[in-house]
Structure formats: C-alpha cells, structure tokens
Amino acid sequence: MYVTGKEYDLLVAELRVELGARTDGGGKNLIARCPFCGKDGKFGVYIGKETVRKKPFMAHCFSCGRSTTTLGKLLESLGRMDLLPTETVAFDEPLPNVLFPLEDAEDEVDDELGIVSLPEYWRRTFTHPYLQSRGFTYDDYDRFPVGTTCRLNHRWDDYVIFPVIDAGDTVGYVARHTWSKEEIDLHNRGAARNGDYKILRWRNSTENDFVKLLYHYDGIVEGETDTVILTEGIFDVVALTRKLDLYDNRHIVAVATFGKKISRTQIYKLQTKGVRTVVIGYDGDAVEAVKHTASELSAYFEVFVADIPDPEKDWEDLTAEEIYRVFAYGLKTPVEYQLTKIQQK
C-alpha cells in the first residue's frame, strides 16, 4: 500500500491525537501509552523515513513487547480503521513512504537493572599513580568516581575500579589492572608454568548484562542534552570530557557502550532521554563497526561520525588540539564516512 505525503502528515497528526503521543528527541517516533498493556511512555510508533530496518508506522511496546508491523494492524488495534488511506495510488503525488510487511517482529527491550555491590573495601580515590599516568585531573576524579580496595581485598589488589552508575544507583563496575599489557603477559606466561593464578587486564561485574548499561549515562540530562558522543570505553569518555572540556557542558555528553557496538536497550536509553544527535566516536580501526552502528542509529537520531584519521589511535592518544580539529572540521555523515572508507581501500 502506498501512502502519499499529504496522507502521511495527516495520519501522523491523527495518531498523535488518538494516542495522546509526544514526539521523541529525534522526531522519528511517537511515544505514547501502550494500547495493549496501558503502560505510559513505552509505546513507540515509527514515523521517520523508511530504512532497512524500519518502516513507517511500525509500532512496538517496550513494556509488553506487542508489535504491529503495518499501518493497517496499528489502526485496527486502535479501532481507527477509518483513518486507513484508500489503496488508490495518486500518481501525481510523490511517494515518500512505502509500507512493506516486516519480516521479523522485534523483541521486547529489557532495561531492568539490579543494584550491584562494589568489591568489599572499595573506597573512592582522588589520586592514584596509575590514573595520574593516564592524565587524570582533579575534575576527572570528581566527575568519574573511581576507587580501589586499598590492599584489604587481595583479589582486587592492583586494580582501579570504576562504578557504572544509572539513575544514581551502582549497576555495575569495570576494573582495570594497573600493570601494562607486557607485564601482565609476562606474569601470565610464568603463571601457566607454575600453576599460579592468571591476571585479567579487565574484570567487570557480572550481575547486569553490559548491553543494558551505558557509562556516564547520568551525565545525559533530559531536556538539556542534545548531542551524545558514543565511545567504546571509560577511558575514552574521560579523555574526551577532559580534552574538549565538557565537564560543565550539558548539551554535549560523552558516554561509552563498552565495545564497538550499540544494543537496542542502549538506543532506547538514549531515546528516552530526548537525545537528538549521536556522534559515533569509536576507535580509528573500527570501520565496519562504525558503519553498522551508524545504520542502527539512523532510525532514531541524527548521526555523525567523528573519524579519527589514524586507525592506530583512540581519544586518549590524541591531543586536545587534534580532537578539537576532528569535531570542528572532521565530522562526517554516515554516507560521507562510507565514501572516504571506500576511497582509502
């Protein structure tokens, strides 16, 4: 079935009233009370342009998981079949939105989190030799809580431990061993011979799946934060915040997805805070991951890529001047990014 541009605008207006809906930050979804389960703010109707994954008027409840995959099904469940456009194609009208049935209905987004205890004897620190060596300043310790177990809990000797905080609660932690990769490798080779324990460079909490977490999520202020810079890890967030001096900037906030990809729960978490623009700031070597993430995000946000020209480098390696240059002159749309990466091959 085709929906003409005029019909589309009219439908969106009617649905907004019918559902008592508001538009999300990116203007690509209506957010409303779910007509199936009644939960408020969990029912999304996609009203953006068609993409590989998204068709206009697909609707999904993030609470009960019910989906409607076509406009007809959506209107039927609302008892508003009268709004369904006639199937006549108006040939003189542009056809911006074409509806196809979806192959697979999406699963429910699970954003439930439990509170996690930090390792016993964890105490916050405001100065630590390892973190000093990575450039931490007082502002960093102040904004990004980090601590150690003060040599009272030997399992955690030589680790710095960052709590992951969500709505003020500790919902996870990331621990980084303070030895260099070479020192750890050397120890572990010996350990294999002597039957000694092995050292893990990273040791994270296991209670909540990290696909449900974003580092520095509370830095995003609903109604104020317009743009989020997406990075891979905690040290990227700290480096960007320091080098772009974002501590007091509520419009632009750096967060981390704990790796080179974003989950549907993480997307949902950004969307519900009204974020409009996402700048992907993954490491220079993450070309395929960046392309994939850009296409995932495009259904919900304006997307740009902050392309680190040197594939060997991450945000910690760049000077403030170099980072400034990437953001001031080097932001690419996903299409521009794809083109430069093809040309470089």
Q: Which residues of the chain form contacts with Zn ion (CB under 5 A)?
A: 34, 36-37, 61, 63-64
How many CB atoms sit inside 10 A of residue 318's CB? Answer: 20
Which residue, 76 or 142, is less far from Zn ion as judged by CB?
76
Which residue, 2 or 36, is less far from Zn ion as judged by CB?
36
114 contacts 171 by C-beta, under 8 angstroms: yes
At which residue do the structure tokens 């709505």 appear? 167
At which residue do the structure tokens 């809990």 appear? 153
Q: Are strands 252-256 and 67-68 parallel, antiparallel or unpaired?
A: unpaired
10 Å CB burial of residue 99 (0-12, 13-18, 19+) is middle
Considering the complex, what minimum distance in angstroms separates the CB of residue 66 from Zn ion?
5
How far apart (Å, rounded) are the C-alpha atoms in residues 104 and 57?
15
What are 326's two structure tokens?
């990437």
Considering the complex, what minimum distance in angstroms separates the CB of residue 36 from Zn ion?
4
Which residue, 34 or 326, is less far from Zn ion as judged by CB?
34
Alpha-helical runs (H) found in 136-180: 138-143
Which residue, 61 or 240, is less far from Zn ion as judged by CB?
61
How far apart (Å, rounded) are the C-alpha atoms in residues 304 and 281?
9
Considering the complex, what minimum distance in angstroms separates the CB of residue 258 from Zn ion?
28
How far apart (Å, rounded) are the C-alpha atoms in residues 261 and 201?
21
Considering the complex, what minimum distance in angstroms separates the CB of residue 34 from Zn ion?
3
- Secondary-structure percent of the chain, ordered helix, strand, coil, rounded to 5: 35, 20, 50
What are 160's two structure tokens?
């710095």
Which residue, 65 or 284, is less far from Zn ion as judged by CB?
65
Considering the complex, what minimum distance in angstroms separates the CB of residue 35 from Zn ion?
8
How far apart (Å, rounded) are the C-alpha atoms in residues 202 and 177?
6
Considering the complex, what minimum distance in angstroms separates the CB of residue 264 from Zn ion?
16
Which residue, 64 or 331, is less far from Zn ion as judged by CB?
64
Considering the complex, what minimum distance in angstroms separates the CB of residue 216 from Zn ion?
30
Considering the complex, what minimum distance in angstroms separates the CB of residue 8 from Zn ion?
25
- Alpha carbon of residue 181 to chain centroid: 28
Which residue, 62 or 304, is less far from Zn ion as judged by CB?
62
Which residue, 110 or 322, is less far from Zn ion as judged by CB?
110
220 contacts 270 by C-beta, under 8 angstroms: yes
How far apart (Å, rounded) are the C-alpha atoms in residues 315 and 283?
8
